[in-house]
Amino acid sequence: MIDFIVNRASCTRCGDCATDCPSRIIAIGDEGYPDIAPEKEPACLRCEHCLAICPTGAISILGFKAADSRLLQGAYPEADKLEILIKGRRSVRRFKPENLEPELLQRLLDVAWHAPTGVNSRQVRFTVLDDQAKVAQLRDEVMVGLVRMYKEGTLPVGAEYFTRFIQIWDRHKVDLIFRDAPHLLIASAPKSVASPKEDCMIALSYFELFAQSCGVGTLWNGLAKWAIDELLPETRHYLGIPDDHLLGYAMIFGQPAVHYARTVQHGPALIHRAL
C-alpha cells in the first residue's frame, strides 16, 4: 500500500504529478483528479515526486504529508556558497579528542540518507561508531591484526604503502590509519540492489559535504576500508556488517583540530568534448 491521497479541496487538477511520475502510474480521472490504480501500485518507485511537485501540497503518499515537507522557493544556498564549500572542503586528518553532539551526528546521517540511490532502492546502511572509545577499540583490534600479518609476512603484494603505517603504529603507537578520529562511518548496501557501490559512495559524498558545512571534518578512508573489508574480514562481523552487503566505503569524522584558510587550486578540469 502506497497510500496515495489527493486532497480535492486543494488540488488544482494541473496534472503535474502525472506528468512527472517516472513510472507513469498516475492517471487523471474524468473529473481531472489524479489517482493510482491498485494494480499499478507495485510499479511505484516511492520517489515522492508527486508530493514534491504539487504546487498546492494536495498530495500525500507513503504516509508522508506535504505539510511536513520543507518549501523550496528561495531556500537553496547560493551557488557561490556551494562552490566555496566544494572547493574549500579538505581531507581532515587531525581531530579534537571529543565526540560530536549526538543531535548533530543524527542530523548528518539523516541528511545523508536523502542521497539518491539507483531505482530509489534506499538500502544504504550506515554503520557508525558514535563514541571515540569505540573507534579506539576498533583501531586496536585492527592494528593487532595488521601487525601480526606484517610480522608473519602475510600482507598481500601491493600493501607496501600500507606497511609503513603499520610499522609506525608498531614502533611509536602513532595512528596514521584511523587518525585518532572520534567517529567512523561505513556505508554498505545489499549486493542485490541495482547499484550498491554507487549508492554508498554517493551517500558518503553527501555526508561529507553536509558535515563540512556544519564544521565537521571528514576523511575518506581507503586504508581502513581495505583493512576491514579485505585484510581482516572478521572485522566486518565484529562491526555487524551483514554478509550479503557490499561494503561501499569508510569515512572517519569529528571536530577538526585543523583550520584551512583558503581553497586549493586544481587548474582547469579535464574535459573531453566528444563528437
Q: State the residues that interact with ligand FMN by CB under 6 A.
A: 90-91, 93, 219-223
* Contacts of range 118-121, beta carbons closer than 8 Å, 24 or more positions apart: 118/193, 118/194, 118/195, 118/198, 118/199, 119/45, 119/193, 119/194, 119/195, 120/45, 120/46, 120/47, 121/189, 121/193, 121/194, 121/195, 121/199
Q: 7 vs 213, which CB is nearer to ligand FMN?
A: 213
Instruction: Outline where DSSP puts E strands in the chain.
Output: 5-6, 26-28, 34-36, 59-60, 125-129, 183-190, 217-220, 245-254
In angstroms, give the least distance from the CB of 90 to ligand FMN. Answer: 4
Element (H, E) at 44: none
Whichever of 25 and 223 has its CB closer to ligand FMN, that residue is: 223
Q: Could you tell me the smallest distance in angstroms from the CB atom of residue 225 to ligand FMN? A: 7
Our CB check for ligand FMN shows the closer of 29 and 222 to be: 222
List Cα–Cα distances, 157 to 127, 153, 162, 163, in angstroms.
29, 10, 11, 11
Identity (one letter) of the amino acid at 75?
A
Nearer to ligand FMN, 219 or 232 (CB): 219
| The three three-digit cell numbers of residue 135, written as one number | 573507534
Closest residue by beta carbon to ligand FMN: 222
Shortest reach from residue 197's CB to ligand FMN, in Å: 12
For residue 251, the SS3 value is strand
Q: How far is the CB of 108 from ligand FMN (least distance, A)?
A: 18
Give the nearer residue to ligand FMN in terms of CB position, either 4 or 178. 178
Closer to ligand FMN by Cβ: residue 5 or 82: 82
Q: Closest approach of Cβ 83 to ligand FMN, in Å?
A: 15
To ligand FMN, the closest distance from the beta carbon of 226 in angstroms equals 8
Bridge partners (DSSP) of residue 185 are 128, 251
Q: Which residue has the cell 511520475?
A: 21
